[in-house]
Amino acid sequence: MSLNSDFLPSANRPGEYPFGQLFGRSDLNIAASTSVIEGLPDEQRTSPVRRTFLLLMLFDLLLCFILWIIYIQQSLSDGDIIKALRQEVIGYTIKTSLFDTVMLAVGRFLVIEIIYGAFLVLTPWWSAGVTGVNSAVFVAKCFVFDFQQPKKNSIGLAYVLIIAALILTWIETSFLIYRVIPQEKAAAHGPLFSPIAGRMAPKVVVDREAAVDIAAMLSRAGLLHSEVWYLHGLEAWGPDLVTPDGVSVRSANLPGYRTKVFRMEATLDASPRVVHNELVYNIQGTSSWNPTVDYIECLQSFPSENIDIVHNVLHSVYGGTISPRDFVLLRHWGEHDECYYLGIASVEHPKCPPMKNCVR
């Protein structure tokens, strides 16, 4: 299979973009899967869909508080709002005050923000428990609250506040169960576990300060997949140059590519699956069979999409005549037409700026 890390697609092939710059390309966002993107964590550590859920909790709190203040304002008989607040808060009873609806909103907000915002819990039971407690209180309040108080001009808001709070707490839990958790689990599900020797895929630590355009990366990986199979299917290769080890090397000057493209074919003493897993999942062991590799690190990984970004540093050779070189590589792998493939292209990544002692 032919792989080229310095792609420059021909302008005559529609729908393809020049490779290299990966981040900040808003024109690529339209090609990405919205549901996958929403479930992926980004530079803010949480996924967009989870942040939407947490913002919904803040909206719930603000709405309940504002409705409660308006209810108090309409309940005033002498214009003294401080006195009315004291009566609602200090003189609270479940029969005459709606202060408990605000306190329940505060409790919902704090519990959900801490559990699902700070600890990133993926179980719905905490939210379901909060919803159950709130529902029980609201149902009880409907039976004991005095809706026939003397200040009847504010009774309509009492209905609205109780019903709105009940509806919002159910909407929030439903959104968590049917939107947040499924999308995040789908985004996190992938070949993290390699069947070869029980190997785990490399763990990734992402710089949260680095702004990464996830949509652009997904779209770019799709283009890389197309480019790999475009090269694989070409028949415009030159004659074979067979090495003493039986390795066949062919090359071609293809339109739209800066340099000559080489194609190498060889037979390895291993099954395709073993080779695939060794290349994809065991990047830390690359130096064991490639002595030119000095350092290799996975910068960012999206295993559910079979995508990662790797920083690779090569030793200097010939006594320093050729300086150390480093590469930031987007890798996209998978299985297609009963073949395993691994496409690699050079990209830019905000977490890995050029190094002073390396040539990129």
Q: Is the pLDDT of residue 2 over 50?
A: no
| Domains of the chain as residue ranges with CATH | 47-189 (no CATH), 215-346 (3.30.530.20)
pLDDT band at 212 (very low <50, low <70, confident <90, very high): low
Mean of pLDDT values over 116-120: 92
Per the listing, tokens 């981040």 go with: 23
Gap between the Cα atoms of 228 and 19, Å rounded: 13
Gap between the Cα atoms of 266 and 189, Å rounded: 33
Mean pLDDT of the chain: 80
Mean of pLDDT values over 120-137: 95
CB-based contact 184:49 (threshold 8 Å): yes
Write down the pLDDT at residue 19. Answer: 38
Q: Is the pLDDT of residue 246 over 80?
A: yes
Q: How far is CA 81 from CA 63, 71, 93, 94, 329, in A?
A: 19, 11, 18, 20, 64
Write down the pLDDT at residue 280. Answer: 92
pTM of the model: 0.51
Write down the pLDDT at residue 41. Answer: 61
Mean of pLDDT values over 9-30: 38
Question: 126's torsion region: left (phi>0), alpha (psi -120 to 50) or beta?
Answer: alpha
Gap between the Cα atoms of 217 and 287, Å rounded: 27
The H or E element that residue 335 is part of is strand 325-336
Nearest to 132 by CA among 140, 123, 143: 140
Write down the pLDDT at residue 225. Answer: 84
DSSP 224-251: HHHHHHHHHT-------EE-TTS-EEEE
* Most confident stretch, 58-72, 185-199, 241-255, 259-273: 58-72
Any bridge partners for residue 340, and if so which?
Answer: 335
Per-residue pLDDT tens digits for 36-70: 455 566 556 788 889 999 999 999 999 999 999 99
Write down the pLDDT at residue 68. Answer: 94
CB-based contact 330:216 (threshold 8 Å): no
Mean of pLDDT values over 220-235: 85
Mean of pLDDT values over 63-82: 86
Helix residue ranges per DSSP H, the chain: 34-39, 48-75, 81-89, 99-112, 125-144, 155-175, 181-188, 214-232, 272-281
Nearest to 35 by CA among 21, 49, 15, 18: 49
Write down the pLDDT at residue 77. Answer: 65
Write down the pLDDT at residue 357. Answer: 84
Q: Is the pLDDT of residue 29 over 60?
A: no
Write down the pLDDT at residue 185. Answer: 78
pLDDT band at 130 (very low <50, low <70, confident <90, very high): very high
